[in-house]
Amino acid sequence: MASDLITNVTEADFKAQVLDSDQPVLVDFWATWCAPCKALAPKIADVAGDFDGRARVVKLDIDKNRKIAMNYNVRSIPTLIVFKNGEAVGSAVGNVDKAKIAQLLSEAL
């Protein structure tokens, strides 16, 4: 199942899981109370399956990891940021369509 390909990250492992990754990483900044985040989740899972082996997909709960959200100026959720070689290289805000999410990751490959 594609959702099995999505890892939850925290402030404790963000550097290892995202910044030090040898593959591009899509980070989904979300919160449990966010309805648009829940609506976006199936599209994120689809993209995780489509890019399995080429890129990673992780979720970061902003309520539990405020410092990282602040570091990357996440002001509204859902926010998607693609990281490559430790740098943010693309982003999107809101319940975007699957094609936009795939485009963000494709540009980082």
Q: Of 26, 37, 82, 105, which is the active-site residue?
A: 37
Q: Would you call 91 a catalytic residue per the annotation?
A: no
60: which strand partners?
9, 29
pLDDT confidence of residue 84: 98
What mean pLDDT is predicted for residues 90-107? 98
Assigned token pair, 52 = 């399995």
Q: Would you call 100 a catalytic residue per the annotation?
A: no
User: Is pLDDT at 1 greater than 70 in this prediction?
Assistant: no
CB of 92 closer than 8 Å to CB of 79? yes
Query: 7: exposed, middle or buried (C-beta count within 10 Å: 0-12, 13-18, 19+)?
Result: middle
Q: Which domains does the chain have, with CATH numbers?
A: 2-108 (3.40.30.10)
Q: Of 9, 26, 34, 77, which is the active-site residue?
A: 34
pLDDT confidence of residue 4: 87
Residue pLDDT, tens place only, 20-78: 999 999 999 999 999 999 999 999 999 999 999 999 999 999 999 999 999 999 999 99
